[in-house]
Amino acid sequence: MNQKENALLSLQGLKSYYESRDGSEVAAVDGVDLELYPGEIVGIVGESGCGKSTVVRALMRLLDPSSARIAGGKAVFCGKDLFGLSEREMCGIRGKDISMIFQDPLSALDPVYTIGDQIEEILKAHEHISESEAKEKALELLREVNIPSPELRLNQYPHELSGGMQQRVVIAIALACRPQILIADEPTTALDVTVQAQILELIRELRDKLNIAVILITHNMGVVAAICDRMLVMYGGVVVEEGTCKEIFKAPKHPYTRGLLAAIPSIKEEKEELYTIPGQVDVMKVPVACCRFYKRCALAADICRRSEPELKGEGGHLCRCYMAADGAEGSSGGLGFGKEALHG
């Protein structure tokens, strides 16, 4: 694979540790590799606390320095290591080359400025343009994200818009400077289902139009299935399974992924109870020397307790498990596993 050369962004062994109250360090992200190519949407999936948000915050260097640190790894963007840049250079990259949108659009917008002001702010921060040009461009951006009567919206305050509209504004701001990478941290979690679909559709549309790469963080498998090309399943700070969405949905390998898929309620099948993965995400104190999932895993064997499996596989479908099921088992295998875990 010589693809590595033309990757837009490549994370190599990214580690980010949080300091816990007793002074020991907890690995929120413990060695994550990720390659991102222009025009693709990569989903990072996992339950709360698995480190998915920390990955992108670390790569944007937005972690709170008083509690978290980047403990290792590289983030190479266009030949530059982001972790080696000065804060000033990093400011020039954030918003211009790599943009980010957040979960709750209302709180991501400054309440005291109008929509227009906030779009113009980022334009003026990264480009030398005049007041009237900025206004013109802001209007254009609002049209691009399909906001009705954009002239009116320019002079409105964030709280005057609906949630879906606010998220559109946030996307307009994020895309104002034509970034190459858009990071979406749970962009639809705070929205209701119909609006979710619209926002996802908008993200896909803009990806097609602008050929940007998108990292989409979510805990919702449905969202991943809807728009992602590739996906990373994270657990306990590491990637446990990686591959194209098609492959993973068809033949999940890691027990955790299979559990996640089994937990999606289906209308075709009548279930007495919804499947849940027993237990909760464990706190990962470094160094970790076992499979991170073994306490919750129905397939856990002795070897899982003794050493951590490698992320390996063929044809880009990687899995971090000693007990990895063969692809042939299919998605029904995943569900079968689910019942087993529930009743056993």
Partner 1 sequence: MMQRNKRRNGRSGIPPMILFLIITFFIIVGAGLLAPVIAPVDLAETDLTKRLIKPSFLDPLSPYLMGTDNLGRDVAVRLLYAIRETVLISFSGMMIATALGTALGIISGLSGGYVDMAISFFTDVRLSVPTTFIGIILACILGAKPTTTVLVITITGWSSFCRLVRSQIIQLKKAAFIEASRSMGAGGLRIVFEHILINIASPLIVQITMELSGFILLESTLSFLGLGIEPPGTSLGVMVSSGRDYMLTHWWLAMIPSVVIVVMILQISLVGDWLRDRLDPKLKNRS
Residues of this chain that interact with partner 1 (CB under 8 A) are 60, 62, 66, 87-88, 91-96, 99-100, 102-104, 107-113, 121-122, 125-126, 157, 159-160, 170, 173-174
Closer by beta carbon to partner 1, 85 or else 225: 85
Q: What is the smallest separation between the CB atom of 36 and partner 1, expressed in angstroms?
A: 17
Return the SS3 of 244: strand
**What is the distance between the alpha carbons of residues 139 and 132, in angstroms, rounded to a whole number?**
11
- Beta-strand pair 181-185/213-218: parallel
Closer by beta carbon to partner 1, 186 or else 247: 186
Backbone angles phi, psi at 322, to 5 degrees: -75, -30
Q: What is the smallest separation between the CB atom of 240 and partner 1, expressed in angstroms?
A: 27
Tokens of 117: 């002001």
Q: Give 42's strand partners.
A: 215, 230
Closer by beta carbon to partner 1, 199 or else 311: 199
Q: What is the smallest separation between the CB atom of 111 and partner 1, expressed in angstroms?
A: 6
| Per-residue CA distances from 277 to 245, 280, 337 (Å) | 21, 8, 11
Q: What is the smallest separation between the CB atom of 201 and partner 1, expressed in angstroms?
A: 23
Closer by beta carbon to partner 1, 64 or else 270: 64
Closer by beta carbon to partner 1, 213 or else 325: 213
Name which of 320, 263, 259, 264 is nearest 288 in CA terms: 320
Q: What is the smallest separation between the CB atom of 6 and partner 1, expressed in angstroms?
A: 25
Q: What is the smallest separation between the CB atom of 191 and partner 1, expressed in angstroms?
A: 15
| Those residues with Cβ within 8 angstroms of residue 319's Cβ, 6 or more apart along the chain or in another chain | 240, 241, 242, 253, 254, 311, 312, 313
Tokens of 303: 């070897």
Place of tokens 């640190």: 69
| Per-residue CA distances from 194 to 199, 202, 206 (Å) | 9, 13, 19
Closer by beta carbon to partner 1, 121 or else 329: 121
Q: What is the smallest separation between the CB atom of 178 and partner 1, expressed in angstroms?
A: 13
Closer by beta carbon to partner 1, 94 or else 230: 94
| Per-residue CA distances from 335 to 138, 201, 256, 260, 284 (Å) | 48, 29, 12, 10, 28
Tokens of 211: 């050929």
Closer by beta carbon to partner 1, 129 or else 288: 129
Please tell me the number of Cα atoms within 13 Å of 271 on its side-chain side. 18
Stated as kind and residue range, the H or E segment containing 90 is helix 87-93
Q: What is the smallest separation between the CB atom of 82 and partner 1, expressed in angstroms?
A: 13
**What is the distance between the alpha carbons of residues 252 and 245, in angstroms, rounded to a whole number?**
10
- Beta-strand pair 98-101/181-185: parallel
Q: What is the smallest separation between the CB atom of 170 and partner 1, expressed in angstroms?
A: 7
**What is the distance between the alpha carbons of residues 252 and 248, in angstroms, rounded to a whole number?**
5
Closer by beta carbon to partner 1, 107 or else 211: 107
